[in-house]
Each structure stands twice: as structure tokens, then as C-alpha cells.
Structure 1
Amino acid sequence: MTSDGTVTAPGTESGLAADAPRRRSRWDARTWPWWVQVLAVYAGARAVSAVLLLVAAAAQGVTPWAPAHPSYAQTTGLFWDAGWYHRIADEGYPSELPRGADGLVQQNAWAFFPLYPMLVRGLMVATTLPWEVVAPTTSLLLGAAAMLLVHRSVVDGAPRAVAARPGLPLATVTLVSVFPTAVVLQVAYTEALALLLVAATLLLLVRRQYLATAGVLLLLGLTRAVALPMAVVVAVHVLARWRAARRGEDRLTPLDWARLGGLGGVAVASGFLWPGICQWVTGVPEAYLRTQEAWRGRREVTPFGGWDYVLDFWFGDHGWLVLGAAVALVVAVLVVPAAWRLRPELHAWPAAYLLYLAAAIEPGSSLARFLVLAYPLGAVTAGVVTRPAGARRAWFTGVVVLMLVLQAVWVWRFWRLTSGWPP
């Protein structure tokens, strides 16, 4: 494996003698199976993140979750939103929404989706181990499985790019693994499970395995509020197939149309599944939205709401300039040639997901970790520079180093309880 994540075939490296493969050690990473390479990259990245977490823990004072200088298990299993998932695993969800003296709904467990804490709860019962051991370990293993699917989804979802650069899937895995907020893949958060399900959905959709895609979408609807933008991806997939059929490159039968229509319906229904369950159990109309309001600076959930006062809080008079620069960067990443070398499904997902985030959430410090799910942008970033090989390696190495530096800053600034802003 080269410094840019490229895995080259034995004997094809420039300057090597023809008999080089015979001289290679059996420990040469370039000869390992693809899945071993993926897991090795992921393990190395998580080891670096573990060191960063331990450094932060050593400087951490007393918190509501643990005493000063918490252990690794306490740091990864009890801090921030992990406490909410822990409560759900132990107590479940309240039958009534808690309200303050003003009658407004207070922060409560209904803001957090159930699949992850229930999965960990089952493993706790099976192993008799405590939450702070089982939950981070579960996330770590789910993240490993997610990286395998990220790799395969790039292989199947960017065939032209991979044909020109065989190392692109592993390079994508590397960039996702070292992303500034990839630490959440080894703590008691839902990102690892959500990434697994997002990558599985895109892979199955590209492979046209629609029944399995529908099943994964239902699980996604119980994991994170990201199923609705996936409905847009399904629509893009349908459009791509229809256009191919118009060109005579595909064939759409009435049964295909029925399957695609059903899949679109499942995607939309998955987006409203958890809010519907919240309303049904509590008997409160829009119970999920009322709960979400409790976490906002202004108690209202409106499309694209919050950008004005949040930008002013973080950046003052320069807020809109920062937003403009961020939007320009996102658009640039989505329109560069490397982005168009992805298949429509992988190209559409980050676009739909980022637009959904902008419309649905109050922008804040948690936004950085939400970006982990937009993993096809890792393939775009890795593929921006294609030649010469030296420039490509320098670009990739520079991006990896930058991400690791930002990860250290993020852990130190946000995972430690200092300002009170959640990661």
C-alpha cells in the first residue's frame, strides 16, 4: 500500500525488478486481502484516537459522568450523549413527556433513537458486562464492519474511478477513519451503527437488491434521523435507471417499477417511523419535534432555522462570510470531476444529506460529527489529484495529517467537558 492508500499489483511498482514479488516478505501489506488492509487501517486510526482520548482524560476534571481523570471505558462509554443511551438501555423511554413549570417539554430520552441502546442492552445481558465496556466495544466493532462496507460500496459505486486508481476504496477508508470526528466510531454514540447502515444501503441499492435495501432502511429509521435524504437517493437511482432504459442500456419491467416504488415508500416511511412511534406512545402530537425543541437555543423547529443567531454566536460579524465559504467548499467538492466519477447513488447521498442537515438541525458543535456519514466525499477528496503520482501521494498525505491534527483539536476542545458545548 502506497502513502495515498493505493494497493498495487505485485511487480507493477516503478523501479522494481521483475522478480520483486518473490523477494517480498509475506508480511508485505500489499499482498494482504483487501479486508485485512481495511481492518488494519481502521485499527491504526482507532489506536491514534484512543491515545488522544486518554490524553484528554488525563486532563479532565470532575464531571457529572465520572470523577477526575476518568478511565478509557468511562471516557468512551459515559460522556455526553452516551449518558442518554445508557439511561435508555437501563430504563427505556418515558410514557409521558416531562414538562417544566412553563409547560414546555424538557430534554428527554425520546430525542435519541432506540436501535443502538437496545442492541447494547442485549449484549450486556448476554455478556453480563457493564455498559461502559459493552457500548464502546460495540461501536468499535460496528465501525469496523462499516469500513468493510464503505470499501465495497466504493468498489461497486465508482467502477470507472477504481479502474483508473485501484487504491481508491482503501484511500476512502483511510480518510473516513482519520476524519476529525471519527473518534465517535469508538464511543457510545450511534455514528458507527448509522455509518454501517448508510454504507449497506448504498451498496445494496447499487447492486439492485431492493428487498434487502428496504430492510436496512427500516433499521436506519430506528438509528438516526437520516432516512429521508436516503429517499432522495432512491429517487436518483430510479431516474438513473430510467435514463439508462431510454438509451437502451437497461430494461425496466412493471415489476421493477413496483419494486422501486415500494422502496421509495419504505424510505419515506422510515424517515417518519420514530417520530410516529414517539407520538403514539406519549399521545402528544409532534412529540419528537417538541422534544427536539428542548435542545435548541430558540424553541422552534423550522427549516433552516437557527443559522442566523448561531453564526452570530460563533463568528460574530464574520458569520455569513464563514457560511458562504463553507457552502462554496461543499459545492466545489460535489462538482469536481472526481465527484462525477462516482455512480449517481454515491454522488447524490452526500448532497442530499448535507442539504438535509442544513434544513433540519440547529447548526452547532455536533455538526462536525454528523459529517462522518457523508463518507463518499472521502472518495472525492482522495481522487481530486490524479497525476502525477508524486503529487497524488503528497496531497493524500497532507490531507491525512491535517485530519489527524484537527482530530486532536476536536478531542481536546470538545470531548473534554470545558465549555459545555457537546461534541
Structure 2
Amino acid sequence: MTTSLAAASRARLALPATWPWWAQVLAVYALARGVSAGILLVVARAQEANLWTDAAPSYTAYVARMWDASWYEQIYASGYPDTLPVGADGAVQQNVWAFFPLFPALVRALDAVTGLGWDVLAPTVALVCGAGAALVIHRLVATAGAAAVARRPGLPLATVLLVSVFPSSPVLQVAYTESLALLLVAAALLLLARRRYGWAALVIVLLGLSRAVALPMAAVVVWHGVVRWRRGGLAAADAARLGALLVASLAAGLVWPWLCTVVTGVHQGYFRTQEAWRGGAEVVPFVPWVDVSRWLAGDAGPWLLVLVLLAAAALVLNPVAARLGPEMHAWSGAYLAYLVAAVQPGTSLVRFLLLAFPLAAVTAGWTRSRAWLGAVVVASVAGQAWWVWSLWRLVPPSGWPP
């Protein structure tokens, strides 16, 4: 019951202990993606004909065209319009400005070289970015989380395992941007921990062009600076560089809404576009969580919401999380707080939580027990089956988005 997590992870997956770390990581990731591919293939056979695919579509069609993948394909094919579509009521309608450009731009660049097309390239780019993210997460936990690894030697590989089998992890092999964002978030945290501030700024700017998750990185930069200052190791030159990195992080979080306004000429056009996905509800911080809690549980909803938020805070503030280092610790808290402030809670929240990957290290770090790790893996794979069957599969005419 007290064997290391490294031995537990390798034993459960039959990985040779002599393999280099990167081979172990890629093997874990490949096995997990194989399981997810099997689930997707089985569910695809039950998929009815819909707006995006025929009945029982092929694997490539199923992972390249469903749901938001169709919007990214529009950007890949046609770019962004210079006007926003408006309905008869004058409200902005759903349009591609809600989706960020880096992922479809990468696919388009590869298509210009290979000519393989969206159905092949988009899921492949996502899959490869996910592999890169797994490698970077391993290095991040191994180095920035050295205090936690000293207590749990196998924590880096166990973290990769739990991220790779997370209930919404099939999104890492479909034409969505989660794998790209996961790679960029992990890379930014690793570069920040290694004090490579110039490279971190570049990665955070790219993050701001991949998903709307760059703003929480500003809080991570601030906390990194505070910790360095408290430890007496923040020279004036580094303080200036961190200040520039903070400005870059804030700019990365605001650049896409600004570009939408500049190109379309519509003030707050990005937020008007987001309102279209909320049924016309105004984009305001925090309020949607209270409204949804009341919708789900009546007057008791807000109290239940408080309990959920307290549980999340306890997860972030526990000693295991603190031992992961200031960068991962701060990202966990800042990202969860950002979700509460900026996101309307719904079924997509399961997908969004994938980027809170340091919590996988917290989960793995609670114990060295093989039974615990195995139980979490089994529950996560079962969660994948639920996620693909209930959310990725569309029962026409409409469904809850993944």
C-alpha cells in the first residue's frame, strides 16, 4: 500500500522502469487516447444524422466536425467576417468571433503544406498538442513541484495519468482548442518557474490567441513575484521584467475582444457575441452562478453554491497543493476563480476543468496507495464514457453542449 506512485503507475500500465521519463509519459498518453478513441468509435455507431455528420459517421468525421469543431472549421476555411450578424431584434447572433484564431491558423498552415484537409489535420494537431502538454506537465511537476515530488516520487507520471484519463479528456483528440491551451498554460507555468520571463511572455500572448484563459495568468505572475520578493531573491532588473510580463499577460487577455471591436466596428462586439451563446443574457461576473444554482435547487441553491465554492477553496489551499510550487498553486486558484467570474456554468464546465490540471497532482499526491490511484483512473474512464455518450453524442434536434 505504500509503494511509490511511480511504481504504481508503471505497474498498472505495464511500463518498463528502465524507459526514459518522456517514453513513459508518451506511453501513458497514447494508452489513454486509445481508450478514448475506442469510446468515441463505439458512440459514433449510435450517432444519429445531424447538422454536422451523417448517421454513424467515421471516426475522423466524428472528431473533426461535431459541435464547436464546426465553428473552427469555418474559421479555417473563411476567416472572420468584418461585420457581426444581427437578428430581427437587433441582437448580435452566434458567430465565429466567439472562437479564437490560433488553432485554426495552425491547421490551415499545415494544410497549405500537406493538403490533407481539416478532417485529418485538426484532430491530429489537437492530439499532438496534447502529447506536448503531457510532456510539459511532467517536467513542470518534477521541477516546480519538487517539494511535493520529494514526498511522492512518482507524482509527475501519476499527474500525467490522471490528466490523460480525465472525464473530458477525449477533447484532447477532437478539433477543439483544449489541448493547445493546456500545452501553452503548462509551458507558461514552467517558463515562469524557471524565470524565463521573455519566453513566458511569448507563450502567454499565444495563449491569449487560443482561448479566453490568459487573464488568470496575470494573477500567477503577481504571486510568483510576491513569493520571490518574500524569499529575498527579487532583484530590481527581475522586478522590471516581471512588470513587463504582467502587462503582457493583461494585454493577452484583452487583445481578442479589442480586435473584434476594431475589425467589426461594434463596441464590445466580442461580449455581444458571447451573449448570443447565453440566450441573450448580459455578460456579468458571478451572477450566472447564482442564477443557475437557484434554477437547479431553488432557494437552497445559493447556499449549496457556497458549499461547493468552499470545497474548491479547500482543495486549492490544502498543503499538497501548496507543495506544488507558487506557479501551479496560483494557477489552480486563479483559474477556478476566473471560471466563477467569467463563465456561465453548464455542461461545458467539465471540459473547462481540464485546464485546472494541477488539481490532478493534488489528487494523486494525497496517498501512495495503488488502490486509490486505480480507483480514480477507473472512475475517470467511466466519466469519459458518460461524457462522450451524454454530451458529445447529439440526439437531434438539440442537446447539451460538451
Q: Secondary structure at the match of 2:231?
A: helix
What is the match of residue 285 of structure 2? 303
Q: Which 4+ stretches in 1 moved above 6 angstroms?
A: none
Which of 372, 375, 390 lines up with 1:398 in the alignment?
375
Q: Secondary structure at the match of 1:52?
A: helix
Q: Distance in 2 between matches of 1:4 and 1:220?
A: 35
What is the match of residue 205 of structure 1? 192
More displaced, 235-244 or 154-163? 154-163
What is the match of residue 6 of structure 1? 6
Question: Quick check: which has more Rg, 1 or 2?
Answer: 1
Deviation digits for residues 273-303 of structure 1, max 9, x if unmatched?
A: 1111111111111111111010003420001
User: Are the structure 2 counterparts of residues 56 and 325 from structure 1 closer, same or farther at C-alpha, using a change threshold of 3 Å?
Assistant: farther
Asked whether the 8 Å contact 2:111–2:117 carries over to 1, the reply is: yes
For structure 1, list consecutive stretches of 5 or more residues without a partner in the other structure. 14-26, 387-391
What is the match of residue 421 of structure 1? 400
More displaced, 299-308 or 271-280? 299-308
What is the match of residue 343 of structure 2? 361
User: Are the structure 2 counterparts of residues 187 and 171 from structure 1 closer, same or farther at C-alpha, using a change threshold of 3 Å?
Assistant: same
Q: Distance in 2 between matches of 1:174 and 1:108?
A: 36
Which of 388, 391, 409 lines up with 2:386 in the alignment?
409
Which of 184, 198, 215 lines up with 2:202 in the alignment?
215
Q: Distance in 2 between matches of 1:276 and 1:165?
A: 45
What is the match of residue 128 of structure 1? 115
Identity over aligned pairs, percent:
56
Deviation digits for residues 314-367 of structure 1, max 9, x if unmatched?
A: 455664455344323312211222112111111010110010011101111111
Q: Does 1:74 align with 2:61?
A: yes
Q: Distance in 2 between matches of 1:28 and 1:335?
A: 33
Q: Distance in 1 between matches of 2:97 and 2:200?
A: 26
Asked whether the 8 Å contact 2:181–2:210 carries over to 1, the reply is: yes
One-letter amino acid of the structure 1 residue matched with residue 48 of structure 2: G
Which of 132, 144, 148 lines up with 1:157 in the alignment?
144
Q: Distance in 1 between matches of 2:150 and 2:3?
A: 19
One-letter amino acid of the structure 2 residue matched with residue 281 of structure 1: V
Q: Distance in 2 between matches of 1:4 and 1:191?
A: 30
1:14-53, aligned counterparts within 5 Å? 29-53=16-40
User: Are the structure 2 counterparts of residues 307 and 28 from structure 1 closer, same or farther at C-alpha, using a change threshold of 3 Å?
Assistant: closer
One-letter amino acid of the structure 1 residue matched with residue 334 of structure 2: A
User: Are the structure 2 counterparts of residues 95 and 57 from structure 1 closer, same or farther at C-alpha, using a change threshold of 3 Å?
Assistant: same
Q: Distance in 1 between matches of 2:153 and 2:4?
A: 11
CA RMSD of aligned residues (A): 1.9
What is the match of residue 336 of structure 1? 318
The number of aligned residues is: 396
1:337-352, aligned counterparts within 5 Å? 337-352=319-334
Q: Distance in 1 between matches of 2:4 and 2:96?
A: 42
Deviation digits for residues 52-80 of structure 1, max 9, x if unmatched?
A: 11111111111100110011001100000
1:140-151, aligned counterparts within 5 Å? 140-151=127-138
Which of 238, 243, 246 lines up with 1:256 in the alignment?
238
Q: Distance in 2 between matches of 1:168 and 1:162?
A: 6
Q: Secondary structure at the match of 2:17?
A: helix
What is the match of residue 105 of structure 2? 118
Asked whether the 8 Å contact 2:5–2:153 carries over to 1, the reply is: no
What is the match of residue 43 of structure 2? 56
Q: Secondary structure at the match of 2:76?
A: helix
Q: Does 1:240 align with 2:227?
A: yes
Q: Distance in 2 between matches of 1:372 and 1:186?
A: 13
Q: Secondary structure at the match of 1:30?
A: coil
Q: Distance in 2 between matches of 1:69 and 1:312?
A: 38
Instruction: State the shift of 1:416 in Å.
Output: 0.4
Q: Distance in 1 between matches of 2:316 and 2:36?
A: 28
Asked whether the 8 Å contact 1:228–1:271 carries over to 2, the reply is: yes
Asked whether the 8 Å contact 2:15–2:24 carries over to 1, the reply is: no
Deviation digits for residues 171-205 of structure 1, max 9, x if unmatched?
A: 00000000000110000000000000000000000
One-letter amino acid of the structure 1 residue matched with residue 18 of structure 2: T
Which of 365, 374, 390 lines up with 2:356 in the alignment?
374
Which of 277, 283, 294 lines up with 2:276 in the alignment?
294
What is the match of residue 272 of structure 1? 254
Q: Distance in 2 between matches of 1:335 and 1:28?
A: 33
**TM-score, length-scaled by structure 1:** 0.90
Q: Secondary structure at the match of 1:60?
A: coil
Higher relative contact order (CA 8 A, sep 6+): 2
Q: Distance in 1 between matches of 2:50 and 2:389?
A: 15
Q: Distance in 1 between matches of 2:308 and 2:131?
A: 30
More displaced, 323-332 or 348-357? 323-332
Q: Secondary structure at the match of 2:6?
A: coil
Instruction: State the shift of 1:29 in Å.
Output: 1.5
Asked whether the 8 Å contact 2:290–2:305 carries over to 1, the reply is: no
Q: Distance in 2 between matches of 1:339 and 1:89?
A: 39
Asked whether the 8 Å contact 1:198–1:220 carries over to 2, the reply is: yes
One-letter amino acid of the structure 2 residue matched with residue 326 of structure 1: V
Asked whether the 8 Å contact 1:3–1:397 carries over to 2, the reply is: no
User: Are the structure 2 counterparts of residues 4 and 188 from structure 1 closer, same or farther at C-alpha, using a change threshold of 3 Å?
Assistant: farther
Deviation digits for residues 113-138 of structure 1, max 9, x if unmatched?
A: 00001101111121111211110011
